[in-house]
């Protein structure tokens, strides 16, 4: 999975979570799902989660 595919996946997954849960995202569940993607190790997952959290807390 390249960076572009990963970005699309994250955005689609986020939209699904928002649709299912209102306006909240379960970050531990998101992290667990991302960790299942082949090629994403612990370090990369940490970096991805930091970026996601930055976007979530910007108002």
> Is the pLDDT reported for residue 23 higher than 70?
no
Burial letters for 35-58: b for 16+ Cβ neighbours within 10 Å, e otherwise?
Answer: eeeeeeeeeeeeebbeebeeeeee
The tokens describing 46, both together, are 């940490």
CB 2, CB 22: distance < 8 Å: no
What integer pLDDT is reported at residue 21 of this predicted model?
Answer: 54
List pLDDT tens digits, range 25-54: 788 988 999 999 999 999 999 999 998 888
Assessment of whether the complete model's pTM goes beyond 0.75: no
- Quickly state the pLDDT bin for 6 (edges 50, 70, 90): confident
Tell me the residue range of the domain where 7 lies.
3-56
CB 1, CB 38: distance < 8 Å: yes
> How many structural domains does the chain have?
1
CA distance 36 to 55: 22
């Amino acid at each position: 999975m390249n960076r572009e595919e990963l970005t699309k996946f994250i955005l689609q997954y986020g939209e699904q979570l928002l649709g299912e849960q209102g306006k909240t995202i379960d970050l531990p569940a998101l992290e667990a799902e991302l960790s299942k993607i082949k090629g994403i190790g612990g370090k990369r997952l940490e970096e991805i989660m930091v970026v996601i959290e930055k976007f979530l807390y910007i108002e």
